[in-house]
Copies of this chain bind each other. A is one copy, B any other.
Amino acid sequence: MKVSTKGRYAIRFMLDLALHNTGEPVRIKDVSARQEISDKYLEQVVAMLNKAGFVRSIRGPQGGYVLTRDPKDYTMGQILRLTEGDMVPVACLADEVNQCDRADSCVTLHFWKRLDDAISDVIDHTTLADLVEDEQAMLANNYVI
């Protein structure tokens, strides 16, 4: 019941891009340094984001990555489902129509559905812009202290 590094790194990468949107592309090397993440591994995670069109890559010197949309138009759910696969607590909830033989009489299914709804509610209603706001709130607090 854990989110793996793929999902976590993907979110941190996207957030890093959102926080450094100067117009210049952001290099993996810089993100991996700031986030203290293996750059070669981050590369592979970012490849997923790139292939899905979540980011645009610019190759060569002065290259890097930029967001393709406004931060408010990325939900955590989108990023997590791309990198982690479905985010359901039990596999049978992944399909539109439950394929499990026992589904009709499965009592626990109701419970899992409620858990799934609770998870989806959070991840589908939190955007990258929300995290950027959190970051700005934290910075403001530091200045006060």
In the complex, are the beta carbons of B118 and A135 less than 8 A apart? Answer: no
22 A-B pairs in the complex with CB atoms less than 8 angstroms apart: A1-B2, A1-B88, A1-B89, A2-B91, A3-B89, A3-B90, A3-B112, A11-B108, A12-B108, A15-B108, A76-B111, A107-B135, A107-B138, A108-B131, A110-B131, A111-B131, A111-B134, A115-B119, A115-B122, A115-B123, A118-B119, A118-B122
How many copies of this chain does the complex contain? 2
In the complex, are the beta carbons of A2 and B89 less than 8 A apart? Answer: yes
Q: A42: CB under 8 A from chain B?
A: no
Closest residue of chain B to A84 (Cβ to Cβ) is: B1
Q: A126: CB under 8 A from chain B?
A: yes
Complex CA–CA separation, A131 to B119 (angstroms): 20
In the complex, are the beta carbons of A15 and B90 less than 8 A apart? Answer: no
Residues of B within 8 A of A1 (CB): 1-3, 7, 80, 84, 87-89
Q: A114: CB under 8 A from chain B?
A: yes
CB distance from A60 to the nearest CB of B (A): 31
Q: Told that A1-B87, A118-B118 touch, could you supply 10 new A-B pairs with CB distance under 8 A? A: A1-B84, A1-B88, A2-B89, A2-B90, A2-B91, A3-B90, A3-B112, A12-B108, A105-B138, A118-B122
